[in-house]
Structure 1
């Protein structure tokens, strides 16, 4: 399942996931004997950090990065990426700890990296993708958000908000992680958009997304609002760049005609 000749790290942020974390970690360890897991815990008040330490004590393939406070999904992933870059990993996987991302779908992401993609999104909204136990309202919100991103930004992806994805090391090294401060949906869109602007090859593969069994979603109205505002701003900038690239040759030609 792992990428041949590469070291793969699954980065798994946690906040109050004590009930689901052991199952998620065990499924990954049982499914692949080569991947490593980094749990990034934001000082969960329910004791998730202690459970993460126990899992790490039982396996030399599990590591824990403790942070002092909850500071957002995007910030947690970037901290995990930096840790992995410093420990010489080659492929980085984003994966939820709540069981919504299935370990059996991971080989499809890694096989696509092996085939040449730089970024692979585990997509709910491409043929073969599906969601389980999600209310119609949540499905409509996700589909609408992704349609808006695809149309507004011209990004050409069906699930730019997907949180189950894989990156080559070269992508994370090329992006300026210091400038990325977005969170939630917006962080995922941000990373996909920046990867596309940098010229990296992005692929989507179908996955099955399963609604969490324990705990509550971290999605809030504030996160959705942030995504809408920032995505709109990015789309405006992108269209301005495209317009400039189209009009610059025309302006140069007009200037040459004036000179003649």
Structure 2
């Protein structure tokens, strides 16, 4: 039996946390009914609202849910903390808004368990992907960022930013040592970059992705500045 942990990094998500986690829980319970095969890890990284309280309530109510308090803000830090404590065969994460259609997890799981792949990432830029409700400026920013990645770091993957990635846990330490160490959102891109550098077997997954504009807190210009600085730092680690 292949075990897996689904980590959900959260920050001030009291409005939707319980509903979304229960939706995910029901989906996984339906498709993976074997007790002990999986966990949902709510990784709280600095919430100042009722998110920690609600997360703990979910962990008490649902056997497969774990609440993890991360010492400070940072999606990358939340994921590193969760995965470094995991004993599952597969680790990965998705955003709380469940923007990537949940059935795609079944495809990712199959690619890792039967397809011989070591890392699976969702791509909104794959020709077969379907992107719904995405504002024009965010689409332009995403494409621009990914073009910059290819030009500056010489990578081949199409979408470094999509919050839906899965990997065999036994390669995580290799990726970390190769440079996947950022505490923020750029960690997601570092996973793919270092996996390419190390020659890991990567599967690009076309997905249906629905942008939840109402819940987005992303400010494009400050984020772009942080990403560029992180990109420059990562370039120095390139073999």
Aligned to 2:90: 91
Residues 70 and 77 in structure 2, CA contact (< 8 A), matched pair in contact too: no
Residues 99 and 212 in structure 2, CA contact (< 8 A), matched pair in contact too: yes
Residues 185 and 224 in structure 1, CA contact (< 8 A), matched pair in contact too: no
Aligned to 1:141: 141
Query: Following superposition of structure 1 onto structure 2, how do residues 40-59 of structure 1 map, counting pairs within 5 Å?
Result: 40-59=43-62
Q: Are 2:25 and 1:26 equivalent residues in the alignment?
A: no
Distance of 2:181 and 2:139 partners within structure 1: 26
Say which SS state the counterpart of residue 32 (structure 1) adopts: helix
Distance of 1:57 and 1:12 partners within structure 2: 17
Aligned to 1:258: none
Deviation at 1:166, TM superposition (A): 0.3
Say which SS state the counterpart of residue 44 (structure 1) adopts: coil
Aligned to 1:104: 103
Identify if the C-alpha distance between structure 1 residues 77 and 218 changes in structure 2 by more than 3 Å, giving closer, same or farther: farther
Aligned to 2:7: 11
Identify if the C-alpha distance between structure 1 residues 111 and 160 changes in structure 2 by more than 3 Å, giving closer, same or farther: same
Aligned to 2:35: none
Tell me which of 39, 47, 69 is aligned to 1:36.
39
Say which SS state the counterpart of residue 175 (structure 1) adopts: helix
Q: Are 2:63 and 1:60 equivalent residues in the alignment?
A: yes
* Deviation digits for residues 62-100 of structure 1 (CA, Å, limit 9, x no counterpart): 000013432x1111110111121xxx2010121111232
Q: Are 2:196 and 1:196 equivalent residues in the alignment?
A: yes
- Please list every run of 5 or more consecutive structure 2 residues that lacks an aligned counterpart in the other structure: 33-37
Distance of 1:213 and 1:18 partners within structure 2: 17
Residues 96 and 163 in structure 1, CA contact (< 8 A), matched pair in contact too: yes
Identify if the C-alpha distance between structure 1 residues 102 and 17 changes in structure 2 by more than 3 Å, giving closer, same or farther: farther
**Rg larger in structure:** 1
Distance of 1:180 and 1:200 partners within structure 2: 14
Deviation at 1:20, TM superposition (A): 2.0
Query: Following superposition of structure 1 onto structure 2, how do residues 130-209 of structure 1 map, counting pairs within 5 Å?
Result: 130-176=130-176, 180-209=180-209
Distance of 2:15 and 2:100 partners within structure 1: 15
Say which SS state the counterpart of residue 186 (structure 2) adopts: helix
Residues 43 and 49 in structure 1, CA contact (< 8 A), matched pair in contact too: no
* Deviation digits for residues 159-185 of structure 1 (CA, Å, limit 9, x no counterpart): 122220101012113233696442444
Say which SS state the counterpart of residue 5 (structure 2) adopts: strand
Aligned to 2:72: 69
Say which SS state the counterpart of residue 128 (structure 1) adopts: coil
TM-score (norm 2): 0.87
Distance of 1:178 and 1:159 partners within structure 2: 20
